[in-house]
Structure 1
């Protein structure tokens, strides 16, 4: 039976997932037993459309690419338009809500309300929004468990690189004593470009031109993005909830080209590093620029790439690196969660 999906938010990431589902339809059906039907799209800017019998994915992507409203969808009888996001969650026949709205990471809204509404309606959620996991992990994970639904958020830390799935599944049985990582591609790109001779301002402008940094880069350069990812890693992997304010945070705005050059001359590299560590009093976390020996695995991570190092009591150090951004990569993170939803659903049926 096909998984019925409602997209709440239909920007680049949501469209990337839909394109993947279309491109890999045959492989997913044959290899994973995953069949999907898009039944609803609700986007605050693009409008909404719902048909319980399914929507044509190619037509949805065409409307989006032409910057036309979803309400121009040509669906014939049974097609409904005008639903807001909460109605699209509660009043449609979707099994899974793909929550990819623009969300304020400080409050987690509107994604927190969307997740809560979905779980209360007995529907599963997959999302790439950091906010709900960083702000309301305990509440939402408890609610999802009580309602017997799936909550997937693989893409919240390192996009399509499985920074959460790896320790949760492949490294099970280990106690992870410490996690260190380069969790923000924008700042890593800027630092590596400054090592080549650019000033901070030039590196930032180049990052913005390349699409790595927003017009307002504050969240990246002040370390806030990495801080929220550290909160997620502590809550999900260390099983110790932290608030953003618990994580000491220093960004890269004070790092100069001369500081980077001096570090290189001494066999060092400066990287913005997040560290989450178990202590006798619980878990401590911080984000700050750190001098690393050139032999350190994190020191050699180039450009917009992310990396994470798990210190395990049984397996020892496990190092994972990959893309931390990108529409296709982030769309893939949603696919990871969708596949695991289907696997869990299949097990329940058995």
Structure 2
């Protein structure tokens, strides 16, 4: 079965996803009976291409490698250049839109608009952005449902690690009454290096040099990145419409070397924890540094890794550990979401 897709945003994750399709296309066709065909690419800086029969991905990547843009893609009959993102989403013959743009986590834009245009045109959306899921989950879910399309976003929480699919599918039947997680690799790395004796500033600088921290690390160190993931988990896994203003959020900027030493003496270590807990008045969410006992599964998660523990009434505590970022890992999250869309269509007889 051929599944046509638009790629909206063509940075590292988009190119990584294309590399996965190039490498594993034959295996996907043989194992899953699906062939993913990219019919459109639209990127604010690299340009846009559309061909209803599909783009040659080798030529796409050659153009990116040679010029950093899509301008070098060769002309051919039926090729359309220069569509805006909105034109691409609304006019292309794609079944699904893969949304991978940079999103403003305060407004959720432009990805919220991208979802709205796609759903209104009967197209599924797979995305790696946190913003729309954290800020507009109820509205966009209803719009997708009204248009009988799917909206999947596994990569928005722990990249290629199934932080959403595990509780929603594998742990179904449990009541999950608490979720605790290390959901930001930058701060986890920094706290580990501070435990090794580095100062806060040296740990931050090292994280930047290794590519874990952005030039502006505010979203990481102030806890905002974890905050949005907590909101997604509350809405999607616990089914509770938690809002940004409902969650106490504190980053790691006040964790001193003295505090690190105190934790060591107490047989504990500092972790930036995003947590959700069911209470009689609803779901309570917190993002804050915690001194975690060494026998806690989260205590042993080192470096830039992520982890999440689901406290379940039947299966007990289940902890998932995996990469929370990375081009290949996030590209895999896109791939598995697209495969699930294809399986869903089969079950519906479509």
> TM-score scaled by structure 2?
0.98
Counting only pairs closer than 5 Å after superposition, residues 110-149 of structure 1 correspond to structure 2 as: 110-149=110-149
Q: Aligned partners of 1:237, 1:76: CA distance in 2, in Å?
A: 46
| 4+ aligned runs moved over 3 Å, structure 1 | none
SS of the equivalent of 2:189 reads: helix
Q: Which residue of 2 aligns with 1:257?
A: 257
* Cα distance in 2 between the residues matched to 1:221 and 1:315: 33
Q: Secondary structure at the match of 1:66?
A: helix
Cα-to-partner distance string for 1:142-190 (whole Å, 9 max, x where unaligned): 1111111111100011000000000010011111000000000000000
User: Given that residues 186 and 213 in structure 2 are in contact (C-alpha distance below 8 angstroms), is that contact kept between their aligned partners in structure 1?
Assistant: yes
Q: SS at 2:108's partner residue?
A: coil
- What are the Cα deviations for residues 209-251 of structure 1, in whole angstroms up to 9, with x where unaligned? 1111000000000000000000000000010011112110110
Q: Would you say the 8 A contact 1:40–1:51 is kept in 2?
A: yes
Residues 309, 320 of structure 1: 8 Å contact kept: yes
Does residue 1:58 correspond to 2:58, yes or no?
A: yes
- 1:44 deviates by 0.2
Worse-matched range after superposition: 23-32 or 124-133: 23-32
Aligned alpha-carbon RMSD (Å): 0.9
* Counterpart-to-counterpart distance in 2, 1:75 and 1:6: 19
**Conserved in 1, the CA contact under 8 Å of 2:268 and 2:291?**
yes
Alpha-carbon contact 1:55-1:75 (below 8 Å) kept: no
In the superposition, the TM-score normalised over structure 1's length comes to 0.98
Query: Hey, what does 1:7 align to over in structure 2?
Result: 7
Partner of 1:339, secondary structure, is helix
Report the Cα offset of residue 82 of structure 1.
0.5
Greater shift in the superposed pair: 65-74 or 167-176 = 65-74
Q: Per-residue deviation at 1:262?
A: 2.1
- Structure 2 residue matching 1:177: 3-state secondary structure: strand
Counterpart in the other structure of 1:269: 269
- 1:214 is matched with 214
Secondary structure of residue in 2 paired with 1:7: strand
CA distance in 2, matches of 1:65, 1:110: 27
Quote how far apart the aligned CAs of 1:348 are: 1.9
- Distance (whole Å) between structure 2 residues aligned to residue 335 and residue 264 of structure 1: 41
Within the alignment, does 1:108 sit opposite 2:87 as a pair?
A: no
Deviation at 1:115, TM superposition (A): 0.4
Residue 131 (structure 1) shift: 0.6
Q: Structure 1 residue 228 and structure 2 residue 228: aligned? A: yes
2-side partners of 1:59 and 1:189: how far apart? 38
User: Structure 2 matches for 1:9-48, cutoff 5 A?
Assistant: 9-48=9-48
- Give unpaired runs (5+ residues) of structure 2: none
Partner of 1:151: 151
CA distance in 2, matches of 1:136, 1:36: 28
User: Which deviations, in whole Å up to 9, do the C-alpha atoms of 1:251-303 show, x marking residues without a partner?
Assistant: 00011222112211220111000110110001000000001111111111101
TM-superposed CA distance for 1:96, in Å, is 0.7
SS in 1 for 2:348: helix
Task: Give me the whole-angstrom Cα distance separating, in 2, the residues matched to 1:42 and 1:332.
Answer: 20
1:188 aligned partner: 188
Higher mean alpha-carbon deviation, 324-333 vs 340-349, is at 340-349
How many matched pairs? 350
Moved more, 110-119 or 290-299: 290-299
Q: Distance in 1 between matches of 2:34 and 2:11?
A: 23
- Distance across 2 between alignment mates of 1:37 and 1:266: 56
Determine the C-alpha separation between the residues in 2 that align with 1:68 and 1:61: 9
Q: Could you tell me how far apart the structure 2 residues matched to 1:64 and 1:74 are? A: 12
Q: CA deviation at 1:65?
A: 2.5
- Per the alignment, residue 330 of structure 1 pairs with 330
Superposed displacement of residue 69, structure 1: 2.6
